[in-house]
Structure 1
Amino acid sequence: MLRENKSRWPHRLRQVSIGMMSSLLLFTTLSIPAWADTPAETRTLTVQSGSSTASVNGTSYTIAKPIVRQGVLMVPLGVFKKAFGSEIRLEGENRVRLLQGPHTIVLVLDNRVAWIDGKKVQLPAEPTMINGTLMVPLRAVATGIGAAVSSDSGKLSISLTVKDKEDKPDQDVINNSSGKTRVGNSYYGWSINYPSWMIVGYGTDDESGTAFNDATGRYYLEVHSSTQLVELDADDLLEQLLKEMSDSGDIVLHQETITSGTASYARAITRDRDGVLWESRQYYANDKVYELFFADFEAAHYKDMDKHASLLGSFKTTYNRVDKSVKDVSTIVDGLREAGNEEYGIWLGVPAGWQMNNHDMLYGSEGEGYVSVSVTSAPTGKEGTLSAWSEQLKRWMEESFIAGSYEIKGLTSVEVSGVKGQVQEVRYTYGKQWITEYEVMVQKNGYRYYLEYAIPDDRKEKLPDLQKLLDSVEIDYEIVPSSFGRIGGEEFLIDKTQMRSKSSRAYKYGVDIPRYWQPISDQFELSPVVYGFAGGDFEISAQKDTAADFIVSSLKRYYNEVSSGSGNSIKVLGIEHITFAGVPAVSFKIHQVKKGIGFTTREIIFESGDITYTIRTQLNDANATPMQQAALERALNSFKPVE
């Protein structure tokens, strides 16, 4: 189960800033000639260390200068797209996929580990960014896509037979070299023409936003979709679009609504703070708002954006699954979306409708279950065995849920990416419905890989079973040992009696916090400070401009109003005048039931010096074990105002 009382899901990316964009445009120094469409032919790319001139079949063009690093010739990755029509896709912040015919190469920035046609290899030098351009080892990448490499008088020649040549990047022509004429997302239901310059870039974790750029760094396009159940007309869309532009500080150069044709939409052309011209559009269809943001870094006048009308006008709020000429950027297969974190070498499939957080490897939706994945260093000695690990998890359940609120179903063997582990099945309830949780444990090379899959009873028929989820998991167990040292252990499993001291100079207090509590807002020089744990939370609020008497009278009035009347789910268990932290205080104890979950809240209000403090604790009935209650009492008793 989530080890905090409240889950926090990421918000979607609305628009990429220029600063972020510079990291997406990997190929910024390439000046490319036009290539004519021809039948299959052999192309030869020739490059030389230290020379910004390259040639393809004798035609010269300018590239970022190749360099020698660690004895290896490094070239801009973009030359493979322009010379041979290779498809380049950015995946995450530091992972790049290059596709050429039947060959696929996956590169990771600043890492010698790569994958060529699914096989893990060690590169002679790591891909790296130099002056905004991604440089890669020439020979390794060239041979990986099936090219022949030869040298003559200090020049390297790379020869490869390809079917079609690339078109000029500043023309909105169709990308015939890939066999696709359109690109889109089958899950979110949109598509657009697929020009030859278009490189699929990094998008949002849940794929609701997708970015594209070109090899020269001139063009940039984003497509977003978001749920909107209330229908919006073109005027509504324009109002919404202009507000976004205003909030981002853009200057609006042109605005209009288009109501003719198959789809109505709003259109605006703006200049951002960096002087870049953007065309933005919004459409409403399928209970969604679709947004397009297109930048031309060489456009000087708003009318210059008209030349891109054929591309932007090709956008449709539909996706034809039957049409094989449409490239699908969605990774959804059999209801599962591709997820994971390349830093840890972990990939898996999660239900398509869930919110995504690849950074923390946390996936799910409120009330619909979740998957979380973590990697930590394994303890040494007898505590580092799988059996000891499963016993820790059992003990955690016993300390976190009262009897009758949980069941431990059993332990079975499992295999994850070729490594044997075990899965513990447990069931628990916070008070309303039962949840089945699978705790998957695998150890390899001194590290623990832990996957937690929770399924509410009313979602069992709609979510994949454990085996289907595990079949989607791929773990490269060599990545963590090669990139990490010791990684902190699982905080929620540590001894619940361990405490850590915290203090606030701004609000003049000190307090001891149980180490197993997870910080939600732990900036002690700010207010409030909040910690969470299974079934509860702890909050300290400090104010310098509000008297304690005012807060107390307001709470009394509020609880009197909400607890009066028959059938009310809120009950006042007591209001007491007490001594707390050496000063007079008022303590409220309230029990209520919300969404079928019963819990008790305690609020203690008092003044010390010029500061009024409110300390609030909350604990679900199902989680009110002696261990949890004792942890709350230790934190409360440790609070001390300081001068």
Structure 2
Amino acid sequence: MKRVLFIWLVIIVALTAIPASALAVSDPGSPVEIRLTAGSATIEINGETSTVQAPYEASGTTMVPLSVITKAFGAALKRHDSKTLSLTYNEKKVIVTIGSKTVKVNGSNKSVAVAPVIVKDTTMVPVRVIAEAFGASIGKDSRTNEIVIKGVRASGTIQVGSNRVGDSYWGWSIAEPLGYELVEQSENGDFVYWVNENSNLKVMVIPGYEDREITTITFSQIMMLSYLEDDESYTDSSAVTIDGLSFQKLTTLSEDQNQVFEYRGVVAGNCLYVLRLGVTGQSGNLLNPYKTLLDSFKLSFDASAKNANDITKAIEELIAVHDKDYGLTLKLPSGWFRDPWKDHPSYVNGNNRIELKYSSIPEGDTPEKWLQRRQANLSEDILPDYIRNITTSEMMLNDGKALVLSYEHTYDQNTWLQEHEIHLFTDMYRYRLNYRYDVKLGNDGDELYKKMIAAVDLDTGKTLNATKDTQDVVDRTEITRIELGDENRVDYSFEIPSYWQHPFFLSDFLAGGFYGYDEDNYIVGFKQKYVTEDSLNQFIESITLGTYLDEGKKLISVSNITIDGNRTVKFVQNDSILHETKMVYYIFKNDQLIGFTLSARDANLTPSTLKRFEDIMQSLKIY
């Protein structure tokens, strides 16, 4: 194995023996003239000289660096194994093998007097058989004694094979790019990278774009913000439609890399598919020969086709993903992606979700006690009309026996979700694994649940990050006082349950935060300075009249109350579209307006939730 790796390293070096800048990239179909002398390291290509491993004579055969031929003629090069390489030039395909005196040209064997060899990390080949296969002439300049090879550069259209390569899991395919080598692929297959001598091709699948319309402007912004190198400069953008598929296109230039790039993006399902092709040089015209290759991209993969090459990382239609911070390994079906808004492992696909949290084990706690407390939480958090079929059971995971709390719940009394909360105790932590799916999936949803949970594996001996070890949602005894303001002073403070999340934003003008449990309840605070009482009264009147109510929102009540000794107006409004109710408090003190919004889904407007909100507001202190 070590010897094979060594040979590959030698070949890789050999194929890149000539720097790209040493050979001028000519236009497709343009004349090529190579001048060289046996024993001399200086060669001349179209009048420009460069230094290479010196050609030499052996048994009447002139041996030259392979890279001289491929780069001068624009031939595509592909490695097949530790010794075999193929060159593609227009309709001609030449296969050479290190150490073999047989060269194949379009499937026909041709014998050579001297076999290709590697000399000082450079692949040396008999020049005549390859040059003539490319339709070039080879002769000698009697005046200079130079060997002269004359031909034309490859037609410019990058050759693609009859085979299609792609990923059945992510659902894409592209014509096999002849002469390219697959050099990198991510663990889950959402990133694939091919290269040849003068260009490279990358396919990226970026989840999280469900129901998002991608325009030329937004595509450019996405690429520039997250995917372009620092030295890439934008040169052009447009839209292109290929076989009914609409792509957004972006062209960039990198002077440092000496490459021009074309990006194409298209949204399908919940993913943004991006192709990126880079070509050595500084002119956008260099991208033209690659149009056939890029145009062959499709958002489909026919695994049954004889010419299909499936490079998927999926096993039994599942992709293995790993979260090193949490010591978690699981397998996901196609269409699932990590929720970027969660700081813990949480993977989603529409209404379906699987996520993991952990916490330290309180003294005296047991799995049974933990499950009982969590079951009691359900009646505190969810109104009876929004929950049904509550059951408990046991389950064997790869890491031990777990207790399962199962139930169905809804946010709108239309779409019902099946929830399985899996509770696992280990020597160090309590883990809660939540799995949710739409009940309309029926047996398919049940089977996928069993399949995915069976693949879950936890590194239970791993010491986890203490900052992520928060109070579990079932443990509701602790209270945290939040203080908000600017750098110099605290403007106000209030108390929230410790299991709620931490502030989402803070600023001088908008000094507030987002706190919540399971996205069902939240509080937002803000501050606006220098508000007169007259303007406050006008503002309150306009709200009472419904001026600021959007579609689907209804004003339920308006009341005047006192909080921390200050005049407070409380508005309650319901959103029939989002199925949530907001309680908005406007507090007027010292020419300042301080507002709070407490919100809960209609399904969570239980007496316990309302009391929790009331306790928060009564704990408010304004300084």
Instruction: Pick the aligned partner of 2:185 from 186, 201, 214.
Output: 201
Question: Cα deviation per residue 1:160-216 (whole Å; 9 max; x = unaligned)?
Answer: xxxxxxxxxxx989999xxx972345543332435553233348x8x7x53426699
Instruction: Pick the aligned partner of 2:357 from 374, 380, 387.
Output: 374
Identity %, equivalent residues: 15
RMSD, aligned CA:
4.9
Question: Cα deviation per residue 1:488-516 (whole Å; 9 max; x = unaligned)?
Answer: 14432222552333232367222222212
- The answer (yes or no) to whether the contact 2:404–2:422 under 8 Å persists in 1 is yes
C-alpha distance in 2 between matches for 1:609 and 1:341: 50
* 1:620-639 equivalent positions in 2, closer than 5 A: 620-639=601-620
1:282 aligns with: 264
- The answer (yes or no) to whether the contact 1:173–1:196 under 8 Å persists in 2 is no
- The answer (yes or no) to whether the contact 2:500–2:517 under 8 Å persists in 1 is yes
Pick 1 or 2: higher relative contact order, CA cutoff 8 A, min separation 6: 1
Shift of 1:301: 4.0
* 1:441-520 equivalent positions in 2, closer than 5 A: 441-460=423-442, 463-465=445-447, 468-470=450-452, 472-477=454-459, 480-481=462-463, 488-496=469-477, 498-505=479-486, 508-519=491-502
Identify which range, 513-522 or 534-543, moves more after superposition: 513-522
Question: Cα deviation per residue 1:56-106 (whole Å; 9 max; x = unaligned)?
Answer: xxxxxxxxxxxxxxxxxxxxxxxxx99699xxxxxxxxxxxxxxxxxxxxx
Question: Cα deviation per residue 1:448-484 (whole Å; 9 max; x = unaligned)?
Answer: 3321112343443553446533454231435625x76
1:88 aligns with: none
Are residue 356 (structure 1) and residue 338 (structure 2) matched?
A: yes
Question: Cα deviation per residue 1:138-170 (whole Å; 9 max; x = unaligned)?
Answer: xxxxxxxxxxxxxxxxxxxxxxxxxxxxxxxxx
Are residue 32 (structure 1) and residue 32 (structure 2) matched?
A: no
SS at match of 1:321: coil
SS at match of 2:473: helix
* 1:56-135 equivalent positions in 2, closer than 5 A: none
Question: Cα deviation per residue 1:427-458 (whole Å; 9 max; x = unaligned)?
Answer: 33445244331111223342333211123434
Are residue 539 (structure 1) and residue 524 (structure 2) matched?
A: yes
SS at match of 2:615: helix
One-letter code of the match for 1:294?
A: L
2:413 aligns with: 432
* 1:605-620 equivalent positions in 2, closer than 5 A: 605-620=586-601
Shift of 1:530: 2.0
- Evaluate the alpha carbon distance shift between residue 373 and residue 230 of structure 1 in structure 2; reply closer, same or farther with a 3 A threshold: closer
C-alpha distance in 2 between matches for 1:313 and 1:391: 58
Identify which range, 267-276 or 534-543, moves more after superposition: 267-276
Q: Give the gaps of 5 or more residues in structure 1.
A: 1-26, 36-80, 86-170
1:320 aligns with: 302
- Evaluate the alpha carbon distance shift between residue 323 and residue 285 of structure 1 in structure 2; reply closer, same or farther with a 3 A threshold: farther
* 1:136-285 equivalent positions in 2, closer than 5 A: 182-193=165-176, 196-202=180-186, 210-212=191-193, 219=200, 221-224=202-205, 251-253=233-235, 268-272=250-254, 277-282=259-264
Q: How many residues align?
A: 468
Q: Give the gaps of 5 or more residues in structure 2.
A: 1-7, 17-79, 85-156
- The answer (yes or no) to whether the contact 1:413–1:421 under 8 Å persists in 2 is yes
- Evaluate the alpha carbon distance shift between residue 372 and residue 552 of structure 1 in structure 2; reply closer, same or farther with a 3 A threshold: farther
Question: Cα deviation per residue 1:348-378 (whole Å; 9 max; x = unaligned)?
Answer: 2345334433863212245x23221223333
- Evaluate the alpha carbon distance shift between residue 289 and residue 540 of structure 1 in structure 2; reply closer, same or farther with a 3 A threshold: closer
- The answer (yes or no) to whether the contact 1:212–1:220 under 8 Å persists in 2 is yes
**Bigger-Rg structure (1/2):** 2
- Evaluate the alpha carbon distance shift between residue 628 and residue 192 of structure 1 in structure 2; reply closer, same or farther with a 3 A threshold: same
- The answer (yes or no) to whether the contact 1:361–1:373 under 8 Å persists in 2 is yes
Instruction: Pick the aligned partner of 1:417 from 393, 398, 404.
Output: 398
One-letter code of the match for 1:221?
A: K
C-alpha distance in 1 between matches for 2:183 and 2:254: 23
- Evaluate the alpha carbon distance shift between residue 528 and residue 188 of structure 1 in structure 2; reply closer, same or farther with a 3 A threshold: farther
C-alpha distance in 1 between matches for 2:482 and 2:164: 61
- The answer (yes or no) to whether the contact 1:530–1:538 under 8 Å persists in 2 is yes
2:34 aligns with: none
One-letter code of the match for 1:538?
A: I
- Evaluate the alpha carbon distance shift between residue 401 and residue 263 of structure 1 in structure 2; reply closer, same or farther with a 3 A threshold: closer
TM-score by length of 2: 0.61
C-alpha distance in 2 between matches for 1:548 and 1:329: 68
- The answer (yes or no) to whether the contact 1:502–1:510 under 8 Å persists in 2 is yes
C-alpha distance in 2 between matches for 1:484 and 1:286: 36
- Evaluate the alpha carbon distance shift between residue 199 and residue 447 of structure 1 in structure 2; reply closer, same or farther with a 3 A threshold: farther
Shift of 1:263: 7.5
Shift of 1:540: 0.5
C-alpha distance in 1 between matches for 2:83 and 2:325: 30
One-letter code of the match for 1:575?
A: S
C-alpha distance in 2 between matches for 1:640 and 1:273: 58
SS at match of 1:584: strand
C-alpha distance in 2 between matches for 1:440 and 1:603: 36
Are residue 391 (structure 1) and residue 372 (structure 2) matched?
A: yes
Shift of 1:322: 1.7
SS at match of 2:557: strand
Shift of 1:523: 2.8
Shift of 1:620: 3.9
Shift of 1:623: 2.5
